[in-house]
Amino acid sequence: MLTEVTATRYVTPLREGGSLPGIVEADDLGTYVMKFTGAGQGRKTLVAEVICGQIGRALGLRVPDLVAIQLDPVIGLGEPDQEVQELLKASGGLNLGMDFLPGTIGFDPLAYEVDPAEAGRVIWFDALINNVDRSWRNPNMLVWHGDLWLIDHGATMIWHHNWPGVASWAHKPYDASDHALARFSPDIITAAAELAPRVTEELIMAAAADVPDAWLVDEPGFDTTDALRRAYVDALLPRAATIHERITLGEPSKDRPSRAPGWLTGRTEQKGARS
């Protein structure tokens, strides 16, 4: 299970996120980006954050530490923003916390270089979990101390919103044409050879075991939370073996941003250079 801490102070909302996450302080003296069970996206986004985040960490990708945060709704009584106050009041109990990385900057694919090996690993991982939210429009990556960190996995595994159709998702293709790292010549074949053998039944089950029971109960079609955890294993395990064969890197959308000037990328643009 995730380490459990208790929120002691709500610091500020992060309005960049659609679910209105917030920065909180906890009784372990840590500072976390907190995602709430009372947010409109529901608890399945927190389940996805845990399972995918823990799989990513186990594969050696940089994902901030995750914790379960106990929230007393009384914290919201002094919050002047009505929207935030209502969110805090609706989120009593366990919520999700992500280690706050101070001094990070948002990843910009036009201003930060990523080597093909790392780009390949991230795209392969996103294909495995069906991440539809790592495009150049919304990279959901941070740069911290010069390294790339992956955040916001709530929009992954979209099949868990429709369990009766889950069997077909193991064979669904993944279009990475608009992926934020597509422009870096990702080495997906090498990434698959490295990562696919490591996605074992035990690894996925360990990630699913970290999801609090409170976020899994009363799921239609499942008698127990353990049965639901097993369903995540059954969905992800076969996909890991062959997903690299169905990743496509075609032309990006027409509304892609213009190329960054050389002072941002550290190189001058030349005729015929990669865009």
* Distance linking the first and last C-alpha atoms of the chain: 44
Residue 266 lies in a domain: no
For the residues of 197-242, what is the DSSP string, one character each? GG--HHHHHHHHHTS-GGGTTT-TT-SSHHHHHHHHHHHHHHHHHH
Domain of 175, in residue numbers: 106-260
pLDDT in tens, 117-154: 999 999 999 999 999 999 988 999 999 999 999 999 99
Residue 120 lies in a domain: yes
Residue 204 lies in a domain: yes
Same structural domain, 85 and 110: no
Cβ atoms of residues 240 and 128 within 8 Å: yes
Same structural domain, 76 and 116: no
Q: According to the model, what pLDDT value does residue 182 have?
A: 96
Mapped onto helix, strand or coil, the DSSP state of residue 109 is coil
Residue 270 lies in a domain: no
Residue 143 lies in a domain: yes
Same structural domain, 87 and 134: no
Q: Is 92 exposed, middle or buried (0-12, 13-18, 19+ CB in 10 A)?
A: middle
> Is the Cα dihedral 82, 86, 92, 97 positive or negative?
negative
Same structural domain, 97 and 113: no
C-alpha 1, offset from chain centre: 18
Same structural domain, 26 and 46: yes
Residue 269 lies in a domain: no
Same structural domain, 198 and 139: yes
* Residue at a domain's end among 104, 124, 159: 104
Number of domains observed in the structure of the chain: 2
- Mean pLDDT in the chain? 89
Same structural domain, 69 and 111: no
- Cβ atoms within 10 Å, residue 182: 20
Same structural domain, 96 and 116: no
Both structure tokens of 131: 């991440």
Task: Determine the Cα–Cα distance for residues 43 and 22; give it in Å rounded to an integer.
Answer: 16
Q: According to the model, what pLDDT value does residue 81 have?
A: 87
- Dmax (CA) for the chain in angstroms is 61
Q: According to the model, what pLDDT value does residue 275 have?
A: 27
Q: According to the model, what pLDDT value does residue 256 have?
A: 52
Residue 137 lies in a domain: yes
Task: Determine the Cα–Cα distance for residues 25 and 6; give it in Å rounded to an integer.
Answer: 9
Q: According to the model, what pLDDT value does residue 78 have?
A: 80
Same structural domain, 48 and 177: no
Q: Which residues contact 112 (CB under 8 A, 6 or more apart)?
A: 143, 148
Q: According to the model, what pLDDT value does residue 62 have?
A: 98
Residue 124 lies in a domain: yes
Same structural domain, 110 and 242: yes
* Residue at a domain's end among 56, 83, 104: 104
Cβ atoms of residues 140 and 151 within 8 Å: yes
Q: Is 116 exposed, middle or buried (0-12, 13-18, 19+ CB in 10 A)?
A: middle
* Residue at a domain's end among 59, 80, 104: 104
Q: According to the model, what pLDDT value does residue 19 have?
A: 75
Same structural domain, 128 and 252: yes
Q: Which residues of the chain have pLDDT under 70?
A: 17-18, 254-275
pTM of the model: 0.89
